[in-house]
Amino acid sequence: MAQKRSIPYSMFDRESYGLAAKNAKILERVYHKGHAQGWDGKEVLSSLIAEHGTPTMNETQKQALGRVFSIILWGELAAWRISAELADEIEPLEPKMAATSQAFDESRHFYVMHDYLEALGVRPNAIHWGARRLLEKVMNADHLAKKLLGMQLMVEPVALTLFHIVKGLNVEPVLTHLLPYYERDESRHVALGVQYLPAMMSKMSVTERLSLFAFQFELLSYEIATNFWLMRDLSVLGVDPRALIEVGKAKQIKAMEAVLESLDVTASYPTVILDRYADAVTELTLPASSNAGNLWNRLKSVTDIIRHGRPSAVDHELVPTITDEMTPLATGDRMRRAA
């Protein structure tokens, strides 16, 4: 039976939710930026098609892109549902506003990606079990913090990485010019995770925090499995699967470090353990080229990573810098320029 609703009179008392004033301020801005950086999906896609022509590519590339971006499409739907749920269930005002704005963004991401794939002649199909498990795990998580961490800080950073790489490779011009609009929105969504998760975690018991930590391991494993399965398709598109997982993971770790810093947690072992685990599994499944043919060297590298970490870890900014010039059709930017 649905939970009985009552008026949350305490929603303005952010301290009682563990929400710091500076985090609340940023979350409030996330909502208003959603308006200022808004874009009309129908208009943007049709303008890009008018400028660059109907999206087209050879059949092999089309199939590969279809499989990779079907995951993005269903990921957008999962993000839509989760943000709508967060908007409903989060009580304090500012994060509630930010989640509400995200739900609106994700609905646009979903229909625009659907329309783009349709224009390309790709029908979104069933996705790899790893990606499906990942999205369903987050959607069905037993705690709101797991949904926030799973979607905003684990799935979105990997999507941001993929967008950034695919855009850089200019696989298809309409997609290349469409992705900055997605990237700018997704950056705001990552901010919701970074700014609100500390408040949620400050109210969690030790058992709940440990369960959240274990949940991260599980999600990471599904991400690496999906990346491994997509290896061939990514290569067809010119994307290096190892770079994708390494940069994606570097962003996730950066997000977690920001959350722990907000919580005044000085211990680095939670991120170190996650980092080494991800690096070790990546080395096993997608070995560095020097270890590709030699199982013994590969196992030795894995052992070294577990014991000492990787000597040269990948570092990457958490969210990309997207300028107004990269999103010339954004309605908010246009109004600002006209003014």
Q: Where along the sequence are the contacts to Fe ion (CB under 5 A)?
A: 76, 79, 106, 109, 186, 189
d(CA 26, CA 242): 33
Q: Give 70 or 282: the residue with its C-beta nearer to Fe ion.
A: 70
Q: Give 106 or 223: the residue with its C-beta nearer to Fe ion.
A: 106
Quick one: how far is CA 298 from the chain centroid? Answer: 29
Name, in order, each residue with C-beta under 8 angstroms of 116's C-beta and a sequence gap of 6 or more: 45, 55, 174, 175, 178
CB of 35 to Fe ion, least distance (A): 16
Q: Give 62 or 109: the residue with its C-beta nearer to Fe ion.
A: 109
CB of 79 to Fe ion, least distance (A): 5
CB of 237 to Fe ion, least distance (A): 20
Closest CA to 196 of 100, 266, 74: 100
Cα–Cα distances (Å) from 14 to 23, 197, 198, in that order, read 10, 14, 13
Q: Give 186 or 275: the residue with its C-beta nearer to Fe ion.
A: 186
Query: Among positive and negative, which fits the CA dihedral 124, 188, 200, 260?
Result: positive
Helix (H, G, I), strand (E, B) or coil at 204: coil
Amino acid letter for position 153: L
CB of 53 to Fe ion, least distance (A): 25
Helix (H, G, I), strand (E, B) or coil at 90: coil
CB of 309 to Fe ion, least distance (A): 30
Q: Give 156 or 246: the residue with its C-beta nearer to Fe ion.
A: 156
How many Cα atoms are found within 13 Å in the side-chain-facing hemisphere of 282?
26
Burial class (CB in 10 A: 0-12, 13-18, 19+), 249: buried
CB of 247 to Fe ion, least distance (A): 18
Q: Give 160 or 259: the residue with its C-beta nearer to Fe ion.
A: 160
